Amino acid sequence: MAMTRLFQGIMTIGLLLLMGGCSVKYSVTGASIDPGAKSVNVRFIENRAPINNPTLSQNVTERLRTKVTSQTRLVQVNEDNTDYEFRGNVTGYAFSNAAVTNVDKAATSRLTVTINVTFIKRVGDKKGWTQAFTRSADFSATQLPSAVENSLLENNILPQIVDDIFNKAFANW
């Protein structure tokens, strides 16, 4: 009986020491933030796509800033040399046919957006990355693209792309 309690005590102390030695802290949202990190700069994401929506750059920049500051302890700072930095460009913005009927008529159309993002880490392991993130949303070909464009961006494409960028940066996915 005493041997079992001793073993349990040693295991508990060992587990506490092991957990206390970790250098990466996790937030409630699952974000992995270096303990020394305090600031982030989500730079304005420029629209360099040949075809574009005039509000897309502003919307995606604000959504990413909001997600990062609301789901981490990082503070948005508009200056160089922050602990984390996001730079990006909208490189693709296109409407296309997604499905065709048996009479060569489009049944479904698709809006596709691609954003190229560079993530810079100046703390911890300093392993940044550059990656293109692409998301699409389909709509009926009987609808005009201009009638559904803003809704597709706000409700489908932008939330998904921002989640993808956030997860790549802070969830190690």
Which pLDDT value is given to residue 15? 43
38 burial (CB, 10 Å; 0-12 / 13-18 / 19+) is middle
Q: Is 96 helix (H, G, I), strand (E, B) or coil?
A: strand
State the pairing for strand pair 129-140/106-121: antiparallel
Helix (H) or strand (E) holding 155: none
**What distance in Å separates the CA atoms of residue 27 and residue 42, rounded to the nearest whole number?**
20
Percent residues over pLDDT 90 in the chain: 69
Average pLDDT, integer, range 100-118: 86
**The pLDDT of residue 19 is above 90:** no
pLDDT of 23 reads 38
Q: Global pTM? A: 0.80
